[in-house]
Amino acid sequence: MLPQFLIKLFFVLNVIWIKHVSAFEQSADDRILFWVLYGFFLSLATIGLCAIITLIFCYFWYKNKRLLLEKYTLSPTLSKKSNSLS
């Protein structure tokens, strides 16, 4: 949901950029405001993308760690059986 929103936002900003460049007369304030907004949304998209990548990495790391712990630790039932046999 969030990546689709960011892609649409980036597309809208590019359309605004094309319209802004094609305008014949531009004031310096308009150009400064555009670059500030463009930089803000671009950095927001970058932070969002990094957050999504981090969450995916953490999910797979946790899943792998949990599987390794289950594989290499004795379950309580096995430890009870080994104690009762000895």
Name the 3-class secondary structure at 25: coil
**Per-residue pLDDT for 74 more than 80?**
no
CB 30 within 8 A of CB 20: yes
pLDDT of the residue at 62: 87
pLDDT of the residue at 61: 87
* Residue-wise pLDDT tens digits, 31-66: 788 788 888 888 888 898 899 999 999 998 888 887
Residue-by-residue DSSP string for 45-79? HHHHHHHHHHHHHHHHHHHHHHHHHHHHS--HHHH
**Per-residue pLDDT for 79 more than 90?**
no
pLDDT of the residue at 56: 92
| Tokens found for residue 25 | 């007369």
